[in-house]
Amino acid sequence: MSEVAQGGATPVREGLFREDPPALLGARCENCGALRFPALAVCARCQHEGASEVALPDQGRVFTYTIVHAPPPGYAGEVPYALGVVELGDGLRVAATLLAEDLAAVRISAPCRLELFDLAGEDGAALRTYGFRIGEE
């Protein structure tokens, strides 16, 4: 967590996403083309070592979700909050926070779009992370 992101917030982990335009950063295997998120040099399909960084699609649909009502250990945000699995258009699903003004809008198959947002981290330093905001059908 060395690099300070825009607005003074620190990314929760280096290499998860880029800021402008916002995108999750995956790895595409240079041998078989398989994607993975977060990026890792070794391919999980063919075990080839060598992958290029790729910006994942910023839109998808909710495959499944839950609303968490009790704060888990070490969580820096507020409850309740939504988590889900988002199906992206390129053969990959990713686990993500789901964002909505009203959490009742979170539904399976709902369209959603990537959004970076901040949580209050330890000693007041904002922690930047990623989510998908539920949109209109």
Partner 1 sequence: MAMEPTVVSGVGMHPFGRFGDKSPIEMGVEALREALADAGIAWGEVDALFCAHMYAGTGAGHKIATAIGRTGIPIVNVENACSSGGAAVSVARQAIASGEHGVVAAVGIEKMPRGFMKMDYFEPWREPIGHAVNPVQFAYAIQRHMYEYGTTERQLALVAEKNHRHSVHNPRAMYQKEISAEEVLASRMVVDPLRLLMLCTPDEGAAAAILRAGDARPGDVSVVGQGMATAMRSQAIGEHMPTDSTIEPDVPVSRRAAQKAYEQAGLGPDDLDVIELQDTDAGTEIIATEELGLCAPGEGGPLVESGATTIGGRIPVNPSGGLLSKGEPVGASALGQVFEVVTQLRGRAGARQVEGARTGLTHALGAGGNCSVIVLQRS
Residues contributing to the site for Zn ion (CB under 5 A): 29, 31-32, 34, 43, 45-46, 48
Nearer of residues 1 and 46 to Zn ion, judged by Cβ: 46
**Closest approach of Cβ 21 to partner 1, in Å?**
21
Min dist CB 108 to partner 1, Å, is 4
Show the site string, 68-87: x = touches partner 1 by CB under 8 A, - = not.
xxxxxxxxxx---x-xxx-x
- Closer residue to partner 1 in complex, CB, 114/129: 129
Determine contact, residues 62/107, Cβ cutoff 8 Å: yes
CA triple 13-48-43, angle to 5 deg = 40
Among partner 1, Zn ion, none, partner that 29 touches (CB below 5 to 8 angstroms by kind):
Zn ion
Q: Per CB under 8 A, which of residues 16..35 are in contact with partner 1?
A: 16, 26, 34-35
Q: Which of 30, 45, 47, 49 binds partner 1 (CB under 8 A)?
A: 45
Q: Which long-range contacts (CB under 8 A, 24 or more apart) does 32-35 make?
A: 35/90, 35/91, 35/92
* Residues in Cβ contact with 34 at an 8 Å cutoff, skipping those fewer than 6 apart: 28, 43, 44, 45, 46
Cβ-Cβ contacts under 8 Å for 40 (sequence gap 6 or more): 27, 51
Q: From partner 1, Zn ion, none, which one binds at residue 32 (CB under 5 to 8 Å depending on kind)?
A: Zn ion
